Amino acid sequence: MSEARTNETRTDRARVNHAQRLRQTIEDEIVDGVLRPGDRLDECQLAARFGVSRTPIREALLQLAVTGLIEVKPRRGALVSTPEPARLFEMFETMAELEAACGRLAARRLTEAHQSALVAALDACRVAAGEGTEAYYAENAVFHAVIYRASGNGFLCEQALTLSRRLAPFRRIQLRVRHRLRQSLAEHEGVVAAILAGDEAAAGERLRAHVLVQGDRFAELIRNLADGSAAA
């Protein structure tokens, strides 16, 4: 690869990473209630605020649009579009059922390849737990995706991945609750033990309970969303 090509690749990678960091910052402000439903996200204002060009801002907003946290409307631009609290509860309830189904099927159909991937994902979560919330969150997403694939049901896997991406920022913020990260890891270990043992019922129930854990931080999130919706 030529030097010019190498430099171009590095520049592209840096731009993508920058956009991802901006997305995460904006995402946090939406979930924390700093940015309220209906707030307009102006590219120029955001670029000035973060001291960057409009390009990484535009890429960050496109990433957020995919998750459904914002929506882009003609002539109005990007607007915060956080779900109503009741809707969010329904989404988590649905996610819990999808994950429970994936866990049951994974316990029934586990292959050697999926078993190896699951054990490796759990080991990665253990390491990441000592590195902090963001590192653990990244490995947590991989862990759940491995279970979806291990279900052996492609359509179910697709649906679980889609809803998981939609709920990603809300699932991440729960990990900030005191002791939640360690508790989450312990729940992962219980899920893996059930799947490896072929215990469909236990795998399903443990995954359902794992997803439905909400805690004090999630309750605060719901209050923020309710206040924002009333003010919008």
pLDDT in tens, 17-52: 788 889 889 988 887 668 887 899 999 999 999 999
Low-confidence stretches of the chain (pLDDT < 50) are 4, 7, 215-216, 228-232
Provide CB contacts within 8 A for 170, sequence distance 6+: 31, 88, 92, 218, 221
Q: What is the pLDDT of residue 195?
A: 98
Closest CA to 30 of 164, 168, 139: 168
Q: What is the pLDDT of residue 220?
A: 58
Type of residue numbered 150:
A
16-28 exposure pattern, b = at least 16 Cβ within 10 A, e = fewer: eebbeebbbebbe
Q: What is the pLDDT of residue 161?
A: 93
CA 142 – CA 80 distance, rounded (Å): 27
Domains and CATH numbers, the chain: 3-80 (1.10.10.10), 85-223 (1.20.120.530)
- Global pTM reads 0.73
Q: What is the pLDDT of residue 144?
A: 97
CA 150 – CA 138 distance, rounded (Å): 19
